[in-house]
Structure 1
Amino acid sequence: MTGLHERHLAVSPEWLALYYRHPLELTHGEGRHVWDADGNRYLDFFGGILTTMTAHALPEVTKAVAEQAGRIIHSSTLYLNRPMVEMAERIAALSGIPDARVFFTTSGTEANDTALLLATAYRRSNQILAMRNSYHGRSFSAVSITGNQAWSPTSLSPLQTLYVHGGVRTRGPYAELSDERFIQACVADLEDLLGHTRNPAALIAEPIQGVGGFTSPPDGLFAAFREVLDRHGVLWISDEVQTGWGRTGDHFWGWQAHAEHGPPDILTFAKGVGNGMSVGGVVARAEVMNCLDANSISTFGGSPITMAASLANLSYLLEHDLQGNARRVGGLLIERLRGIAAASPAVREVRGRGLMIGVELVRPGTDEAAPEAATAVLEAARAGGLLIGKGGGHSTSVLRIAPPLTLTVAEAEEGAAILADALHAAG
């Protein structure tokens, strides 16, 4: 155990998890690579939990941060803030939400917390519909709508939460149905649920479940849900904390795979937009955003320095078509991983879109989750010079792969080869 690890354990909560038997101290990064305190170099396929979205030490972002820091770092929302207004204008235009208003926070948890505040105030209801296997953050309200038991430490809640089928395509009571019948069954479940509830405020859903193991429903499910929700006046909150900004390749936002009935009422974002800076936010149409009848500010949300970083990062992403790169390189990586999986009895499924890929592990010959195998592969991948994540439903048996969106074909091939060796080494 290193001295820093011992110091960490002495002052940190026991529930503050660390990866690896011998935890890493990352000291610097460049492009798609990071280095640890011992000088070891790693290909980064997790990006600080999907947060280093573009690249480590991207010159355009570091330059914008340095220049803004030389002017003013902080002011709060009590003063006009040019970078914040410019970033809000860009996000409002990109969101697809008509007459959009944008509120900036410091994290995805805070963004979802704000979305819940807006929805419950607008609808005058504390009932929330959420998806099974979901994750929306670690605040008291976000935990109370999280449908993943491993990340929900208390049953106490300020909200009444009801869980809907549909977030996991290949497990559960509807897994054997065709996509069309799967959607029909989930819609019927939602209709039945609404028949037994009184005035729910909103449905909150991740288009692709992040912590849940990069699971997703068939395209069109949330469009079908939206038709039902609209009849009941229930809002739709799309949690784009992990799926936004082109990561899925096919779309800029995850909700666009379900776009038949237009954009969500509320959209939340965070993680990658700041490329490592602490940025989150909420987009909603003016009627919903303006429903609060009490004062509110944000001390740190939308700070000049984080907005400068986000503006530079978003410009780089759009100018270099990183969504297209996620589609092209991610498609190649998924196919490469599926080829590797075909030779591994421990792999149940390779799934995902763009550069958001899950590899689900099971005990060979069964359909039982294998969290111990996921841990072993994580360790073996690190030994081979590759950093990945893990997640899943009731057990962390899914390898989570989400590199920066500038990933090259050569780096995708390199990472896939290391992962193939790690799967073999882990047995």
Structure 2
Amino acid sequence: MTGLHERHLAVSPDWLALYYRHPLELTHGEGRHVWDADGNRYLDFFGGILTTMTAHALPEVTKAVSEQAGRIIHSSTLYLNRPMVELAERVAALSGIPDARVFFTTSGTEANDTALLLATAHRGSNQILAMRNSYHGRSFSAVSITGNRSWSTTSLSPLQTLYVHGGVRTRGPYAELSDERFIKACVADLEDLLGHTRGVAALIAEPVQGVGGFTAPPDGLYAAFREVLDRHGILWISDEVQTGWGRTGDHFWGWQAHASSGPPDILTFAKGIGNGMSIGGVVARADVMNCLDANSISTFGGSPVTMAAGLANLSYLLEHDLQGNARRVGGLLIERLRAVGAGSPAVREVRGRGLMIGIELVRPGTDEADPDRAAAVLEAARAGGLLIGKGGGHNTSVLRIAPPLSLTVAEAEEGAEILGQALHTAT
């Protein structure tokens, strides 16, 4: 155990998880690579939990941060803030939400917490629909709508939460149905659920479930849900903390895979927009955003420095068509990983879109999750020079692969080869 690890354990909560038997101290990064304190170089396929979206040490972002820090670092939302207004204008236009208003926070958790505040205030109800296997953050309200037992840290809740089928396509009671029948069954479940409730405020859903193991419903499910929700006056919150900004390749936002329903009433975002700086936020129609009848501010949300980073990062993303790169290189990567998975009896499924890919591991010959094997592959990949993540609704048995969106074809090939060797070593 290193000295830093010992010091970490002495002052940190027991529940603050660290990856690896011998945890890494990352000291610097460049492009799609990072280095640890011992000088080892790694290809980064997790990006600080999908947060280093464009690249490590992206010159455009570091320059914007440095220049803004040299002018003013902090002011709070009590003063006009040019970078915040400029980023809000761009996000509002990109969101697809008409007459959009934007509120910046410091994290995805805080963004979802704000969305829940708006929805419950607007509807005068504390009832929330959430998806099974979902994750929306670690605040008291966000935990209370988490449908993933591994991350639901308390049964106490300020909200009455009801869980809906549909977020996981290949497990559960509807797994064997065709996509069309799957959607119909999930809609029928939602209709039945609403028949037993009154005055639900909102449905919150991740278009692709992140912590849940990169699971997703068939395209069109949330459009079908939206028809039901609209009849009941229920708001739709799309949690784009992990799926936003083009990561799925096919779409800029995850909700656009269900676009026949139009944009959500509320959209939350975070992670990738700051490329490591602490930015989260909420976009909503003006009537929803303005429903609060008490004062509110943010001390740190919309910080001039983080907003400058977000502006530079978003400009780089759009100017270099990183969404298109996620589609092209991600398509190649997922095919390589499916070929790797076909040779391993421990791989149940390789799934994903763009540069958001999950490999679900099971005990060979069964459908039982194998978290020990997932942990072993994580270790073996590190030994081979590759950093990946893990998650899943069945005891963290899914390998999570989400590199920066500037990933090259050569790096995708290299990562797939290392991961194939890691799967072979661990199985």
- Whether TM exceeds 0.5 here: the answer is yes
Partner of 1:75: 75
Distance 1:295 1:108 in 2: 22
**d(CA) in 1 for partners of 2:395 and 2:214?**
14
The alpha carbon displacement at 1:194 in A equals 0.4
SS where residue 373 of structure 2 aligns?
Answer: helix
Summarize deviations over 1:310-361 as a string: whole Å, max 9, x none.
Answer: 0000000000000000000000000000001010000000000000000000
In the alignment, the residues of structure 2 paired with residue 248 and residue 217 of structure 1 have an alpha-carbon distance, to the nearest angstrom, of 14
CA deviations on 1:74-106 (whole Å, 9 max, x unpaired) are: 000000000000000000000000000000000
CA distance in structure 2 between the aligned counterparts of 1:200 and 1:139, rounded to whole angstroms? 21
Q: Deviations over 1:368-400 (max 9, x none)?
A: 000000000000000000000000003000000
**Does structure 1 residue 24 correspond to structure 2 residue 11?**
no
Distance (Å, rounded) in 2 between the aligned partners of 1:261 and 1:349: 29
Does structure 1 residue 299 correspond to structure 2 residue 299? yes
- How far does residue 40 in structure 1 lie from its aligned partner after superposition? 0.1
Show the 5 A alignment for 1:159-174.
159-174=159-174
Q: CA deviation at 1:17?
A: 0.2
Cα deviation digits, residues 255-287 of structure 1 (max 9, x gap): 000010200000000000000000000000000
SS in 1 for 2:130: strand
Identity %: 91
Counterpart residue number, 1:146: 146
How many angstroms apart in 2 are the aligned matches of 1:160 and 1:394? 24
Look up the match of 2:114: 114
Cα distance between partner residues in 1 of 2:329 and 2:302: 32
CA distance in 2, matches of 1:117, 1:366: 43
Residue deviations 1:273-303 (CA, integer Å, cap 9, x gap): 0000000000000000000000000000000
Query: Deviations 1:396-424 (Å, cap 9, x if unpaired)?
Result: 00000000000000000000000000000
The answer to whether structure 1 residue 355 and structure 2 residue 355 are counterparts is yes
Q: Which residue of 1 aligns with 2:369?
A: 369
Separation in 1, partners of 2:84, 2:153:
35
SS state at 2:222 partner: helix
Separation of aligned partners in 2, 1:28 and 1:338: 31
- Aligned length, in residue pairs: 427
Report what 1:401 is aligned to: 401
**Cα deviation digits, residues 121-158 of structure 1 (max 9, x gap):** 00000000000000000000000000000001100000
Mapped partners of 1:207, 1:123: distance in 2: 23
Partner-residue secondary structure (3-state), 1:62: helix
Give the 3-state SS of the residue equivalent to 1:98 in structure 2: coil
SS, match of residue 18 in structure 1: coil
State the alpha-carbon separation in 2 of the partners of residues 277 and 340 from structure 1: 35
Match of 1:8 in 2: 8
Aligned 1:12-411 pairs, distance under 5 A: 12-411=12-411
Please state whether the residue corresponding to 1:102 is helix, strand or coil: strand
Query: In the TM superposition, what whole-angstrom CA distance separates every residue of 1:176-217 from its partner, at most 9, and x where no partner exists?
Result: 000000000000000000000010000000000000000000
Gaps of 5+ in 2: none
Aligned counterparts of 1:30 and 1:290: Cα–Cα separation in 2: 42
Aligned equivalents of 1:360, 1:407: Cα separation in 2? 22
Aligned equivalents of 1:112 and 1:153: distance in 2? 17
Q: TM-score, normalised by structure 2?
A: 1.00
d(CA) in 2 for partners of 1:98 and 1:243?
21
Q: Secondary structure at the match of 1:281?
A: strand
The unaligned stretches of length 5 or more in structure 1 are none
Q: Distance in 1 between matches of 2:371 and 2:108?
A: 26
RMSD (Å), alpha carbons: 0.3
- What SS does structure 2 have at the residue aligned with 1:330? helix
Give every structure 1 segment of 4 or more consecutive aligned residues whose post-TM-superposition deviation is greater than 4 Å.
Answer: none
SS of aligned partner of 1:87: helix
Q: Secondary structure in 2 aligned to 1:120? A: helix
| Offset of residue 45 of structure 1 | 0.1
**Structure 1: how far apart are the matches of 2:342 and 2:41?**
29
- How far did 1:306 drift? 0.1
The alignment partner of 1:418 has SS state of helix
- Aligned-partner Cα distance in 2 for 1:341–1:351: 11
